[in-house]
Amino acid sequence: MSLDCINNTVILKYYAIKFIGREIYMENKKVELKERKDIPKEYTWDLESMYKDIESWERDMEEVGKRAEEYTKYEGKVGESAETLLNALKDRDAIYRTASNVYSYANMRLDQDTRVGESQALLDRALAVYVKVQESTSFLIPEILQIDEEKLNRYYEENNQLNIYRHHLDDILRQKDHVLSTKEENLLAQMGEITSAPEQIFSMLNNADMRFPTILDEDGNEVEITQGNFIPLMESKDRNVRRAAFKALYDTYENFKNTYAQTLNGNIKKNIFSARVRKYKSSIEASLKQNNIPLSVYDNLIRSVHNNLDTMYKYMDIRKRALGVDELHMYDLYTPMVKDVDFNIPYEQGKELVIKGLHPLKGEYMEVLQQGFNDRWIDVYENKGKRSGAYSSGTYDSKPFILLNYQNTLDSIFTIAHEMGHSLHSYFSKENQPYIYGGYSIFVAEVASTVNESLLLDYMLKNAKDDGQRLYLLNHYLEQFRTIVFRQTMFAEFEKLIYEHAEAGNAITADFLSNTYMELNKKYYGPDIVIDNEIAMEWARIPHFYYNFYVYQYATGYSAAVFLSRKILTEGDIAVERYMDFLKSGSSNYPIDVLKKAGVDMTTEEPVNNALKLFKELVDEVDQLI
């Protein structure tokens, strides 16, 4: 099934590792958030290119519902001929293609202002029709599984058009033991709205309803903590600001710990139920096998990171010395170690910096990159009610849109590069693959984004004005490793532990979640940092725990990207050509094999170990410069 399918979180969104600020800072002066209508059009995404008005959207909604009802004409007949099988697959794709447009538009429309009741209603209706589509097409895969291999091979010979679906059909047959009867699949499809509830509840609570205390910023001004401005506050040079923001945010989560625990517990139980009814041994197996990823990849990642924790401990010691503090605390992790280096870069300058940094990719990549900047792919600035964070999203028929909440910070510049990596991957996939393979696996999703970040960082390091700026950028590089490789692996281990706990029949409580999370922080960060009690509640604010074993792919993807970016910089055109082939492959093969085409074998420990070797080299260099 295409990645537009609801089983892959409906429309793939790729969230930045760090939350981006909710307050806009211009020349270090705070600016009040604007209403949506007051943001200049050129800095908003072009959703009108999907639907010019609600009436157009309504027509597609009606069409999807009608075609979903008509699709039942194939029930009981899918395998009777090559022509019927082909038509059933083509008609299914057409329905999902329109349904994904309907859903994606409603979802992005809500994200641009989550306060708008009309947009919430559109999303609810879009989700309902998506569930209806799933229900109406739920018989297809069980009937395909009833076609024996000899007959299917004969069908390929009888109708050449069917060959386009060969990999897709092979993938279905691979999962034969985990597909239920038509009646059972239909019942599961009808549960779609119910099973999405934990994530929706978390999103509304976390993004729309949660309110945090007001603290004093560096200038003594009162500032209300939000999901978006938390990380900029944690980057403050004033330790009192960092400490106050840290305590205020996590103390607030503590007040809601049981609600968050039960919301996450509901999501865990949903995934355990799904895995068991589909005859998987565990939830993690159910998740990884969807993309044909060996379980060893997950375990290898955790083992490799565990084997290199001594380098993380050394980095914590360096950070402690660089900041000149008697005790290093968790609220000291995001502030730059280097003093008096301030990147204050407005969006237009940041955009040009990204273009220069990605120049090694040359040719068509750079042409499409420029197109994205000029053609309103990006929703740049925050407005009141806008969803926090950053992501790339869209459908086979739409522009590969990007949601930002741009600050004038170094982090925001790298977020542009990151999300553009996702969007260009989407662009090249759908331009070179048919709809059925026009998306790409979550497993490879973070590769293109991180290649862009690595290339941009290389450019900035080469053009650093002095040792101070170079040290600042190296610190940023180390933070990428800490937050993407180490922290996301810690998240992955946390997921593994809590699912194993639940699958063994134990209760998921707020205390269990907090204690487990606290112990992992102690393991990953080591003896040279005070693991503040408040960090035990961090699990409550992480949206990725609702994506079912998603986060490990940040670490594996980053490792693969470090390898590829080094190849692009050292080998030039040959490596770029291989990389472009990877971007254009979509989901036409299994993700492990698609990455092998680019020259990376993630079934081995080599890519992760090589990335961690680079981390050690960077830590040693910074140790010499501090």
Residues serving a catalytic function are 419
Tell me the sheet residues that pair with 25: 30
Residues 614, 618: Cα–Cα separation, whole Å: 6
The closest of 489, 488, 459 to 476, measured between CA atoms, is 459
SS3 165: helix
The answer to whether 567 touches 454, Cβ cutoff 8 Å, is: no
The token duo for 155 is 């069908």
d(CA 288, CA 277): 16
Task: Give the separation between CA 170 and CA 189, rounded to whole angstroms.
Answer: 22
Give the separation between CA 244 and CA 570, rounded to whole angstroms: 45
DSSP-assigned letter for residue 530: B
Is residue 204 within 8 A of residue 179, CB to CB? The reply is: no
Say if residues 31 and 24 touch (Cβ distance below 8 Å): yes
Between CA 377 and CA 180 the distance in angstroms is: 40
Task: State the angle between helix axes of 442-462 and 573-583 in degrees (0 to 180), rounded to the nearest 10.
Answer: 150
Round to whole Å and give the CA distance between 521 and 264: 20
Amino acid identity of residue 232, one-letter, is P
Q: How far apart are CA 372 and CA 576, in angstroms?
A: 20
Copy the structure tokens of residue 186.
């239909």
Question: What 3-state DSSP class applies to 298?
Answer: helix
Cα distance between residue 121 and residue 114, in whole Å: 11
Q: Is 564 left (phi over 0), alpha (psi -120 to 50) or beta?
A: alpha
Burial of 321: CB neighbours in 10 Å, binned 0-12, 13-18, 19+: middle
DSSP 207-269: III----EEE-TTS-EEE--TTTHHHHHT-S-HHHHHHHHHHHHHHHHHTHHHHHHHHHHHHH
**Could you give the CA distance from residue 175 to residue 178 in angstroms, rounded to a whole number?**
6
Full 3-state SS string of 560-612: HHHHHHHHHHHHCHHHHHHHHHHHCCCCCCCHHHHHHHHCCCCCCCHHHHHHH
Residue 127 burial class via C-beta count within 10 angstroms: exposed 0-12, middle 13-18, buried 19 and up? buried
